Structure 1
Amino acid sequence: MLKKISTLFIAAAILLGAGTASHAVEFKAKGVWNMNFEYGSGGNFTERGRSENGNKAAGVTGWGRYGEDQFEAKSRVRLQLDAVASEALSGTVYFEIGGVTWGRASKGGALGADGNNVVKIKHSYLDWAVPQTSVKVRMGIQRVFLPDFTTEASQAFDADVAGVVLSTPITDNLSLSGFWVRPYNDNWAGDSQSPQNYLDNFDIFGLTAPVRLNGVNVTPWAMLGMFGSNSFRSGTDFYGKNSTGAGALGLSPAVYALKDSKVGRQIADAYSTVLWAGITGEMVAFDPFRIAASFNYGSVDTGAEALNRKGWYSALLAEYKLDWGTPGVYGWYSSGDDDNIKNGSERMPNVEANNESTNAMSSFGTLGTWTLGRDTLIGSTFAGTWGVGARIKDVSFFDKLKQTFHVNVLGGTNSPAMAKYIKGAKGVDGYTSYTPDTGDGFADFNSANYYGLYLTSQDYAAEFGITTTYQIYDNLRLLVETNYIALWLDQSRGVWGGYTSATGNNMGANSTTDAWNVNVSFIYKF
């Protein structure tokens, strides 16, 4: 570990020295150090938010989304080097070291600090301008995301991915940005039915058109993708737990209750079509009063109805900026699954949403923080939920100290009938519902809602959060997050109530308890 870090800094020093000698290229260095200390409890969660009748996985003593303990200490370093030849040409490489969990050998945090697989290239791209034009091009591994003026975090696409982005102004009020990215290709090892690398690419094309008028900003956007029948496969399972990305990408059905033998191991079409469209905007003409709204729609067509997905999401925000803070109210609604498991999912698909942005409406229930703190208790996005909330942002009565308070009341928009498939009380046309690989007899909540809980229209939750930042020095910031989520899940037999499987295992209720966490981060940025 220390050798790798030393190598990075030696390389940086050589590059900086070379830039000084040549006078042709200027090298700039940026970086972020993040030290995080966190304590959390409740939720009874195991892998990626799955709840197993209130039981924790073996060896897990705490919140446990990734086998975490109640108390965790972590650190991460990000180092960015820019080689700038001119305003029209530059190159960037962005290294990431960690996150390192202190004491864990596999994460480089044990005695000796020489663990492997903790240093990676986060970004590596080339920026250049097409000569004699206003077109700018970025090529390589980079962050690509869609806009959202309400949540400040896209519910459809926000990821580090390899691709090409082009942008150009059209008029003083209109600009265009288009991209092609390739999340997956040449990862399928092959088997007796499909040769290696056959039909395993996933490509996405997108276009945004920001419009800036006097007091109004609006950005319509559209995105089209296609993925092959082997794009997400890492074994014999296409949409199950062993897939390389279908669950994480939110492209699979919300509940994988159909066995492979029922729908066929591969999708009906060689390539599936994925389509998204949306519009987001804000009105600031009456500053300090601001209104923002967003609407997204997405669909996945695989050729097999049971594996299709389509849905939508909308959000509205109103806030008023005062000298001491910015109070606001907001709400969101996203479509949920109906009671027919054979017609696929009615939840909006997404591609690695909220990757690097912070969800301004939820700091614990969804991916709401870019620090190393725990989150995603409800889900990575708002898909399949509704909610209303209020917040006071950037409250400041003392120099260098700011606080944000928020409270949300939310629930699910999925049919309660889906709970029977998830907990194994109901199958499809004689086929039993999906059983996890562990053989523990419990329903696989991970496959139902990757990164969180599957909430029906009879399930509710309340989220409370306080975020405090104190600027210790110009480059050193202290961030303290305190979060609590209260859960009220329907324990009746028709939803999450008790059910005894054929093997005698008591499926029981989804007896998830309330959850809370406190995390403290020291962030040094230069």
Structure 2
Amino acid sequence: MKRFTLALVLAMVFGCVAIASAATEVKMTGDARIHGTFFAKQNYTGWNTNANRTMDEFAIWQRFRLRTDFIANEGLKFRFGIRANNTPWGNGTYTVDNPAVAIDVYQAYLQFKWPGTDVEFSIGMQDWGLPISSEALMNGNPVFGGSRSAAAIVTIPVAEQFKIIAGYTRLLDTNRDMDPTTTQVPDEFDAFVLALPITLDGFKATPWGMMAVAGRNANYATGAGNAGATLASNLFSAGTALAPAGLSNAQNVFWWVGGSFAVTALDPFKFYADVIYGTGNNSDRGKSKRGGFWFDVAAEYTGLDILTPQLTFWWSTGEDSSTRNGSERMPTVMGYWGPSTSFLFDSSQAYTRGYMGVNPVGSWGLVFSLNKISFIQDLTHRLTFTYARGTNSSVALRNARALWGNGNYVQMGRDLTQNEYVVAINFDHQYNIYENLAAIVEAGWSHGDFENSVWTRRVANMAKNGDAFKVAFGLQYRF
């Protein structure tokens, strides 16, 4: 039955392509990845986030994504994307002789221009993110970036140098269209976005803002970004769990304002910066408030043929010693920020399951990278060094762990105190066998120093008994 269901799904997709091709242009793109990963001491312990299960050190992972564009004309198209998501051999989809069906839709959106204008609408499940100064260097905005959601976005060109981008997204609707009681249940999490990109010769600035309305009964336990993180740990304060537990308001407002800046007038020297302030739950109990500040600055030199040096610094506010006055960390939704594909962050590594998952919010640090190293045609390398230290009070993280449990709100190695640091080096390589087929090797090492009094002696000592180390090798095919 499972095989029949899988065959039916594929038949429907390719059947739609055949029918649509008579009236529209159909283009397909995608990628396939197969790689083996040896990863010792994940989470700096070799255990899961709750420190009650042991992780296997070696697994072979496989992922496939197919994106189909149905193009009626230059101003109208529909994108449909399906995937068999990242799963290890021997499990789920890749189980011998009895594979589980694991194809899901991850993109489905309509994109069109209003007739006679350049005003563009993009409506549906789509990849989007808040502005960041350099996607190539930083990967994504730390509040929401490098991800996707169901959204309606309109782009209005005002002049050659200026446009308006506005959008609405429904991030959660836990009970769908039918609440479980005869009274309305606040189970939605909605956000409204405005960005104003200004582009001049050698300079780009994008002021932006986002406001979200968070219903008390939405399921914020869903995963979000960094290893073990959830929307609850990203949005709310640890004090939300203090008696009386939970939120008093049915709905609370969160808002963020920021600016992204890129200076390329001094090319080949290029400079970038991002500044963000975010806050939420301000009309709720004092223990449930959360608000903080975050910024990054970066520079790169692109004038060399054989490599591109890059340097990034970031800093953000951290928790003070009181849990009852709320949180001093900036709230986030789902961000994949990470400079120069650092091993510490989930930042578009070629192979997933191959990073340490450090939270850039509540920490500061620097990243130095020699990127795009190339001495031989079709062979490139990247060498990146990262240092990160926390800005959180030890007392705050110890209290948060006691209130929420191990790994449920804060986690050793992901959330750092002022007395803790982590360092990492990754050395990555890519050889293009063909134009669309690459052999990729990723290697990473990380060492952390953590407080026994915050994470318990058992967990902290496990981290001292050897460092985290990863080697991954595989193939990536793009078409």
Taking structure 1 as the reference length, the TM-score comes to 0.82
Match of 1:31 in 2: 30
| Equivalent position of 1:441 in the other structure | none
CA displacement at 1:19 relative to structure 2: 3.7
CA contact (8 A) 2:229 2:409 kept: no
Compared CA separation, residues 218 and 477, structure 1 to 2 (3 A): same
- Equivalent of residue 326 in structure 1, options 308, 312, 317: 308
- Aligned partner of 2:293 among 295, 312, 315: 312
Rounded Cα–Cα distance in structure 1 between residues aligned with 2:376 and 2:286: 58
| 2:187 is equivalent to residue 200 of structure 1 | yes
The aligned runs of 1:207-218 (5 Å cut-off) are 207-218=194-205
Q: Does the Cα contact within 8 Å between 2:346 and 2:357 map onto a contact in 1?
A: no
Residues 174 and 7 (structure 1), Cα distance of their counterparts in 2 relative to 1, 3 Å cut = same
What is the letter of the counterpart of residue 122 of structure 1? Y
Indicate the RMSD between aligned Cα atoms, in angstroms: 2.6
Structure 1 residues 269 and 130: CA distance shift in structure 2, 3 A: same
Conserved 8 A contact 1:316-1:331 = yes
Q: What's the counterpart of residue 348 of structure 1?
A: 330
Q: Match of 1:247, as an amino acid?
A: A
Cα deviation digits, residues 298-356 of structure 1 (max 9, x gap) = 111251221221111111111111111111222110110011100111111111112xx
- Verify the 8 A CA contact 2:153 2:166 in the aligned structure 1: yes
Structure with more of its chain in helix, by fraction? 2
Q: Which amino acid aligns with 1:470?
A: Y
After the TM superposition, which of the residue ranges 129-138 and 363-372 deviates more from structure 2? Answer: 363-372
Q: Does the residue aligned with 2:19 lie in a helix, a strand or coil?
A: helix
User: Where do residues 359-508 of structure 1 align in structure 2 (5 Å cutoff)?
Assistant: 359-375=338-354, 377-379=356-358, 381-422=359-400, 424=402, 433-434=403-404, 436=405, 444-449=406-411, 453-491=414-452, 493=453, 495-496=454-455, 498=457
Name the amino acid aligned to 1:369.
Answer: S
Q: Give the 3 Å change call, closer, same or farther, for CA 470–508 of structure 1 in structure 2.
A: closer
Q: Within 2, Cα distance between the matches of 1:414 and 1:178? A: 34
Q: CA deviation at 1:375?
A: 4.3
C-alpha spacing 1:141/1:497, structure 2 compared with 1 (3 Å):
closer
> Does 2:323 correspond to 1:338?
no
Check conservation: 2:45, 2:459, Cα contact below 8 A: no
Give the Å deviation of 1:264.
Answer: 3.5
Aligned-residue offset at 1:377: 2.3
2:99 aligned partner = 114
Whether 2:262 is the aligned partner of 1:282: answer yes
For the structure 1 residues 244 and 368, does the alpha-carbon distance in structure 2 shift closer, same or farther, using more than 3 Å as the test? closer
User: Which residue identity lines up with residue 371 of structure 2 in the other structure?
Assistant: K
Q: How many residues align?
A: 462
- Which residue number corresponds to residue 166 of structure 1? 154
1:430 corresponds to: none
Q: Compared with structure 1, are the counterparts of its residues 202 and 258 closer, same or farther at alpha carbon in structure 2 (3 Å cutoff)?
A: closer
1:458 is displaced (CA, Å) by 0.4
CA deviations 1:220-267 (Å, max 9, x no partner) are 1110000111122689xxxxxxx995336x1122x36834xx0244x1
Tell me if 1:270 matches 2:250: yes
SS class of match (1:512): helix
**Which residue among 81, 85, 90 is the counterpart of 1:103?**
90
- 1:181 is the counterpart of 2:173: no
**CA deviation digits over 1:135-163, x for unaligned, max 9?**
10011111120121252311010232111
Q: Which runs of 5+ in 2 are unaligned?
A: 223-227
Distance in 2 (CA, whole Å) between partners of 1:452 and 1:195 is 45
Q: 1:258 corresponds to which residue? A: 241
- Matched residues in 2 for 1:9 and 1:258: separation? 46
1:512 — aligned with what?
A: 463
In structure 2, relative to structure 1, the CA distance for the partners of 1:2 and 1:466 (3 Å cut) is: farther
Following superposition, the deviation at residue 423 of structure 1 comes to 5.3
1:83 correspondence with 2:70: yes
Whether the 8 Å contact between 2:32 and 2:62 is mirrored in structure 1 is yes
Cα distance in structure 1, aligned partners of 2:64 and 2:132: 28
Q: CA deviation at 1:367?
A: 1.1
User: Matched residue of 1:467: which SS?
Assistant: strand
Distance verdict in 2 for CA 1:291–1:407, change over 3 Å: same
For residue 227 of structure 1, the aligned residue among 178, 203, 214 is: 214
Q: CA deviation at 1:112?
A: 1.2
Asked whether the 8 Å contact 1:186–1:197 carries over to 2, the reply is no
Cα distance in structure 1, aligned partners of 2:338 and 2:4: 36
Amino acid at match of 1:374: R
Q: Tell me what 2:131 maps to.
A: 147
Percent identical pairs in the alignment equals 24
- What is the alpha-carbon distance in structure 2 between the residues aligned to residue 225 and residue 234 of structure 1? 17
Is the 1:210–1:220 Cα contact (8 Å) retained in structure 2? Answer: yes
SS state of the match for residue 95, structure 2?
coil
Distance in structure 2 (CA, Å) of the matches to 1:196 and 1:453: 40
- Cα deviation for residue 446 of structure 1 reads 2.9
CA distance in 1, matches of 2:184, 2:351: 35
In the alignment, the residues of structure 1 paired with residue 273 and residue 421 of structure 2 have an alpha-carbon distance, to the nearest angstrom, of 24
Does the 8 Å contact 1:480/1:520 carry over to 2? Answer: yes
Q: Which amino acid aligns with 1:96?
A: R
Measured in 1, the distance between the counterparts of 2:25 and 2:74 equals 11
Post-superposition CA distance 1:258-284 (Å, at most 9, x none): 34xx0244x122211010111111111
Q: Is the 8 Å Cα contact of residues 298 and 349 (structure 1) preserved in structure 2? A: yes
Distance in 2 of aligned mates of 1:486 and 1:245: 25
Residue ranges of structure 1 left out of the alignment (5+ in a row): 236-242, 425-432, 437-443, 499-506
1:126 aligns with 2:126: no
Distance 2:132 2:35 in 1: 28
Name the amino acid aligned to 1:339.
S
- 2:225 aligned partner: none
Which amino acid is the alignment partner of residue 288 of structure 1? P
Counterpart contact for 1:465–1:482, Cα < 8 Å: yes
Looking at structure 2, the residues matched to 86 and 480 of structure 1 have their Cα atoms a distance apart, in angstroms, of 41
